Protein backbone atom coordinates (compact mmCIF):
# COMPACT_ATOMS: atom_id res chain seq x y z
CA UNK A 1 0.00 0.00 0.00
CA UNK A 2 1.38 3.42 -1.01
CA UNK A 3 2.25 5.85 1.74
CA UNK A 4 -0.18 8.76 2.09
CA UNK A 5 1.40 12.09 1.20
CA UNK A 6 1.15 15.28 3.24
CA UNK A 7 2.27 18.65 1.85
CA UNK A 8 3.11 21.14 4.60
CA UNK A 9 3.03 24.81 3.61
CA UNK A 10 4.22 27.04 6.42
CA UNK A 11 4.64 30.76 6.85
CA UNK A 12 7.71 30.14 9.00
CA UNK A 13 9.89 27.25 10.15
CA UNK A 14 12.59 27.20 12.78
CA UNK A 15 15.67 27.23 12.58
CA UNK A 16 15.32 29.31 9.40
CA UNK A 17 13.28 31.97 11.20
CA UNK A 18 13.09 32.80 14.91
CA UNK A 19 11.11 30.48 17.14
CA UNK A 20 7.38 31.12 17.25
CA UNK A 21 4.27 29.01 17.60
CA UNK A 22 3.98 28.54 13.83
CA UNK A 23 7.73 28.12 13.30
CA UNK A 24 7.96 25.32 15.87
CA UNK A 25 4.98 23.46 14.47
CA UNK A 26 6.38 23.98 10.98
CA UNK A 27 9.60 22.30 12.13
CA UNK A 28 8.39 19.41 14.29
CA UNK A 29 5.00 18.44 12.80
CA UNK A 30 6.37 17.30 9.40
CA UNK A 31 9.07 15.25 11.13
CA UNK A 32 6.52 13.64 13.46
CA UNK A 33 4.14 12.80 10.62
CA UNK A 34 6.99 11.36 8.56
CA UNK A 35 8.08 9.21 11.51
CA UNK A 36 4.51 7.89 11.73
CA UNK A 37 4.70 6.57 8.19
CA UNK A 38 3.51 9.26 5.83
CA UNK A 39 5.51 10.81 2.98
CA UNK A 40 6.01 14.55 3.34
CA UNK A 41 7.13 17.68 1.49
CA UNK A 42 7.59 21.05 3.21
CA UNK A 43 7.56 24.60 1.79
CA UNK A 44 8.10 28.08 3.21
CA UNK A 45 8.91 31.57 1.83
CA UNK A 46 12.58 32.52 1.48
CA UNK A 47 12.14 35.71 3.44
CA UNK A 48 15.14 38.04 3.46
CA UNK A 49 15.91 37.33 7.11
CA UNK A 50 16.60 33.67 6.32
CA UNK A 51 20.37 33.24 6.49
CA UNK A 52 21.21 31.30 3.32
CA UNK A 53 24.85 30.66 4.13
CA UNK A 54 24.35 29.43 7.68
CA UNK A 55 21.42 27.23 6.68
CA UNK A 56 23.08 26.02 3.46
CA UNK A 57 20.30 26.92 1.05
CA UNK A 58 20.99 26.25 -2.60
CA UNK A 59 18.96 26.83 -5.74
CA UNK A 60 17.29 23.89 -7.48
CA UNK A 61 17.91 24.84 -11.10
CA UNK A 62 15.58 22.20 -12.57
CA UNK A 63 12.64 23.66 -10.59
CA UNK A 64 13.45 27.35 -11.06
CA UNK A 65 12.98 29.46 -14.16
CA UNK A 66 9.23 29.84 -14.44
CA UNK A 67 7.64 33.30 -14.49
CA UNK A 68 4.44 33.99 -12.57
CA UNK A 69 2.27 36.92 -13.63
CA UNK A 70 0.97 38.95 -10.70
CA UNK A 71 -0.89 42.20 -11.38
CA UNK A 72 0.19 42.08 -15.06
CA UNK A 73 3.88 41.85 -14.15
CA UNK A 74 6.24 38.91 -14.67
CA UNK A 75 8.00 37.65 -11.55
CA UNK A 76 10.63 34.89 -11.85
CA UNK A 77 10.09 31.93 -9.56
CA UNK A 78 13.25 30.73 -7.81
CA UNK A 79 13.25 27.49 -5.81
CA UNK A 80 15.82 26.79 -3.13
CA UNK A 81 16.22 23.87 -0.77
CA UNK A 82 17.89 23.08 2.53
CA UNK A 83 18.02 20.02 4.77
CA UNK A 84 17.31 19.55 8.44
CA UNK A 85 19.61 16.58 8.97
CA UNK A 86 18.30 15.61 12.41
CA UNK A 87 14.81 15.24 10.96
CA UNK A 88 15.86 13.71 7.61
CA UNK A 89 13.70 16.43 6.09
CA UNK A 90 14.13 18.80 3.17
CA UNK A 91 12.57 22.25 3.13
CA UNK A 92 11.77 23.97 -0.17
CA UNK A 93 11.90 27.76 -0.29
CA UNK A 94 9.93 30.01 -2.64
CA UNK A 95 12.08 32.99 -3.63
CA UNK A 96 11.81 36.05 -5.86
CA UNK A 97 13.90 39.21 -5.98
CA UNK A 98 10.92 41.59 -5.98
CA UNK A 99 9.08 40.01 -3.08
CA UNK A 100 11.59 38.30 -0.80
CA UNK A 101 14.93 40.10 -0.97
CA UNK A 102 14.12 42.63 1.76
CA UNK A 103 15.63 42.04 5.20
CA UNK A 104 12.37 41.36 7.01
CA UNK A 105 9.49 38.90 6.72
CA UNK A 106 6.03 40.50 6.85
CA UNK A 107 6.75 43.85 8.48
CA UNK A 108 9.54 46.41 8.17
CA UNK A 109 11.97 47.58 10.85
CA UNK A 110 9.19 49.73 12.35
CA UNK A 111 6.80 46.76 12.50
CA UNK A 112 4.69 48.22 9.69
CA UNK A 113 3.20 45.63 7.35
CA UNK A 114 4.48 45.69 3.76
CA UNK A 115 1.93 47.17 1.38
CA UNK A 116 2.51 44.39 -1.17
CA UNK A 117 1.89 41.49 1.23
CA UNK A 118 -1.16 40.60 -0.86
CA UNK A 119 0.97 40.01 -3.96
CA UNK A 120 3.62 38.24 -1.95
CA UNK A 121 1.02 35.78 -0.58
CA UNK A 122 -0.40 35.22 -4.07
CA UNK A 123 3.07 34.58 -5.48
CA UNK A 124 3.99 32.23 -2.65
CA UNK A 125 0.83 30.12 -3.00
CA UNK A 126 1.11 29.81 -6.76
CA UNK A 127 4.86 29.19 -6.50
CA UNK A 128 4.34 26.26 -4.15
CA UNK A 129 1.66 24.68 -6.30
CA UNK A 130 3.58 25.12 -9.55
CA UNK A 131 6.62 23.51 -7.92
CA UNK A 132 4.57 20.56 -6.68
CA UNK A 133 3.33 20.11 -10.24
CA UNK A 134 6.92 20.15 -11.53
CA UNK A 135 7.82 17.54 -8.92
CA UNK A 136 4.85 15.43 -10.11
CA UNK A 137 4.02 14.81 -6.47
CA UNK A 138 0.34 14.37 -5.72
CA UNK A 139 -0.52 15.24 -2.09
CA UNK A 140 -3.35 13.49 -0.29
CA UNK A 141 -3.42 16.33 2.24
CA UNK A 142 -2.22 19.92 2.07
CA UNK A 143 -1.82 21.46 5.51
CA UNK A 144 -1.48 25.26 5.57
CA UNK A 145 0.06 27.13 8.51
CA UNK A 146 -0.12 30.90 8.94
CA UNK A 147 -2.14 33.55 7.14
CA UNK A 148 0.53 33.93 4.45
CA UNK A 149 -0.55 30.50 3.11
CA UNK A 150 -4.19 31.57 2.85
CA UNK A 151 -4.42 31.70 -0.94
CA UNK A 152 -3.51 28.02 -1.31
CA UNK A 153 -7.02 26.57 -0.71
CA UNK A 154 -8.60 28.93 -3.26
CA UNK A 155 -6.01 28.18 -5.94
CA UNK A 156 -6.19 24.40 -5.43
CA UNK A 157 -9.99 24.36 -5.68
CA UNK A 158 -10.27 26.90 -8.51
CA UNK A 159 -7.15 27.65 -10.58
CA UNK A 160 -5.79 24.10 -10.40
CA UNK A 161 -9.06 22.23 -10.04
CA UNK A 162 -8.58 20.33 -13.33
CA UNK A 163 -5.04 19.23 -12.53
CA UNK A 164 -5.13 15.50 -11.72
CA UNK A 165 -2.39 15.91 -9.10
CA UNK A 166 -4.90 17.72 -6.86
CA UNK A 167 -8.03 15.79 -7.82
CA UNK A 168 -8.33 13.99 -4.48
CA UNK A 169 -6.41 16.40 -2.26
CA UNK A 170 -7.92 17.38 1.07
CA UNK A 171 -6.96 20.78 2.47
CA UNK A 172 -6.45 21.46 6.17
CA UNK A 173 -6.14 25.08 7.27
CA UNK A 174 -4.71 25.92 10.69
CA UNK A 175 -5.87 29.21 12.15
CA UNK A 176 -3.44 30.99 14.45
CA UNK A 177 -3.35 34.19 16.45
CA UNK A 178 -1.16 35.78 13.75
CA UNK A 179 -3.51 38.44 12.42
CA UNK A 180 -2.38 41.40 10.36
CA UNK A 181 -3.62 44.76 11.61
CA UNK A 182 -3.87 46.71 8.34
CA UNK A 183 -6.17 45.27 5.65
CA UNK A 184 -4.40 43.95 2.57
CA UNK A 185 -4.37 45.92 -0.68
CA UNK A 186 -7.88 46.88 -1.79
CA UNK A 187 -7.10 45.66 -5.32
CA UNK A 188 -6.33 42.13 -4.15
CA UNK A 189 -9.54 40.61 -5.51
CA UNK A 190 -8.84 42.04 -8.97
CA UNK A 191 -5.32 40.64 -8.92
CA UNK A 192 -6.52 37.06 -8.37
CA UNK A 193 -9.58 37.20 -10.64
CA UNK A 194 -7.84 35.04 -13.21
CA UNK A 195 -8.74 31.86 -15.13
CA UNK A 196 -10.89 29.68 -12.92
CA UNK A 197 -11.59 32.38 -10.35
CA UNK A 198 -14.74 34.41 -10.77
CA UNK A 199 -15.06 37.69 -8.90
CA UNK A 200 -18.11 36.23 -7.15
CA UNK A 201 -15.89 33.49 -5.69
CA UNK A 202 -13.79 36.11 -3.93
CA UNK A 203 -16.32 38.86 -3.24
CA UNK A 204 -15.49 38.68 0.46
CA UNK A 205 -12.12 40.27 -0.43
CA UNK A 206 -13.82 43.53 -1.33
CA UNK A 207 -12.67 44.28 2.22
CA UNK A 208 -9.46 42.25 2.62
CA UNK A 209 -9.32 42.27 6.41
CA UNK A 210 -7.68 39.41 8.32
CA UNK A 211 -11.12 38.08 9.23
CA UNK A 212 -12.45 38.10 5.66
CA UNK A 213 -9.21 36.76 4.23
CA UNK A 214 -9.25 33.85 6.71
CA UNK A 215 -12.91 33.10 5.99
CA UNK A 216 -12.07 32.88 2.28
CA UNK A 217 -9.28 30.38 3.02
CA UNK A 218 -11.68 28.33 5.16
CA UNK A 219 -14.39 28.41 2.48
CA UNK A 220 -12.10 26.43 0.16
CA UNK A 221 -10.65 24.12 2.81
CA UNK A 222 -11.96 20.71 3.82
CA UNK A 223 -10.95 20.90 7.46
CA UNK A 224 -9.74 23.40 10.03
CA UNK A 225 -7.52 23.24 13.08
CA UNK A 226 -7.38 25.76 15.90
CA UNK A 227 -3.63 26.29 15.93
CA UNK A 228 -3.42 28.76 18.82
CA UNK A 229 -5.06 28.53 22.23
CA UNK A 230 -6.90 31.79 21.46
CA UNK A 231 -7.92 32.92 17.98
CA UNK A 232 -10.26 35.55 16.54
CA UNK A 233 -13.65 34.75 18.13
CA UNK A 234 -15.64 35.51 14.98
CA UNK A 235 -13.47 33.16 12.94
CA UNK A 236 -13.73 30.43 15.58
CA UNK A 237 -17.51 30.71 15.53
CA UNK A 238 -17.47 30.70 11.72
CA UNK A 239 -15.58 27.40 11.70
CA UNK A 240 -17.79 25.76 14.30
CA UNK A 241 -20.99 26.62 12.42
CA UNK A 242 -19.62 25.71 8.98
CA UNK A 243 -20.03 21.95 9.34
CA UNK A 244 -16.45 21.33 8.20
CA UNK A 245 -14.13 18.89 9.95
CA UNK A 246 -12.66 20.69 12.94
CA UNK A 247 -9.95 19.93 15.46
CA UNK A 248 -9.77 22.08 18.58
CA UNK A 249 -6.51 23.40 19.98
CA UNK A 250 -4.08 20.65 20.99
CA UNK A 251 -1.35 20.99 23.65
CA UNK A 252 2.31 20.80 22.70
CA UNK A 253 2.85 17.33 24.17
CA UNK A 254 0.12 15.65 22.09
CA UNK A 255 -0.59 17.70 18.98
CA UNK A 256 1.40 15.52 16.55
CA UNK A 257 -0.57 12.37 17.42
CA UNK A 258 -3.82 14.34 17.35
CA UNK A 259 -3.04 15.82 13.93
CA UNK A 260 -2.03 12.40 12.60
CA UNK A 261 -5.36 10.92 13.71
CA UNK A 262 -7.19 13.93 12.25
CA UNK A 263 -5.53 13.42 8.85
CA UNK A 264 -6.61 9.78 8.81
CA UNK A 265 -10.15 10.81 9.71
CA UNK A 266 -10.54 13.17 6.74
CA UNK A 267 -8.77 11.05 4.10
Domain boundaries, given as residue ranges, for the chain: 5-266
Q: How far apart are the first and last CA of the chain?
A: 15
Say whether pLDDT at 1 is over 70. no
201 DSSP assignment: G
Superfamily of 5-266 according to CATH: Glycogen Phosphorylase B; (3.40.50.2000)
pLDDT range class, residue 195, cuts 50, 70, 90: low
pLDDT range class, residue 258, cuts 50, 70, 90: very high
61 DSSP assignment: T
Say whether pLDDT at 247 is over 90. yes
Distance, CA of 59 to CA of 78 (rounded, Å): 7
Residue among 168, 92, 172 at smallest CA distance from 134: 92
pLDDT tens for each residue of 13-70: 999 999 999 999 999 999 999 999 999 999 999 999 999 999 999 999 999 989 999 9
**Which region among 49-53, 144-148, 171-175, 212-216 has the lowest average model confidence (pLDDT)?**
49-53
Q: Is 226 exposed, middle or buried (0-12, 13-18, 19+ CB in 10 A)?
A: buried
Q: What is the mean pLDDT of the chain?
A: 96
Amino acid sequence: MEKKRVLFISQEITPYLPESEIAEIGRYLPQGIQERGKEIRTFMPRFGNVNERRNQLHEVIRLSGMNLIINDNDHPLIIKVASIQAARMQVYFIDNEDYFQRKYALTDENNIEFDDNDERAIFFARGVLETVIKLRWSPDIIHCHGWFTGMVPLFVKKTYRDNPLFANTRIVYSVYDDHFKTPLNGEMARKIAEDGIDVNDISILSEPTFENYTKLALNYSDAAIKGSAAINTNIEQYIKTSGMHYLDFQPKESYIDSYFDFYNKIL
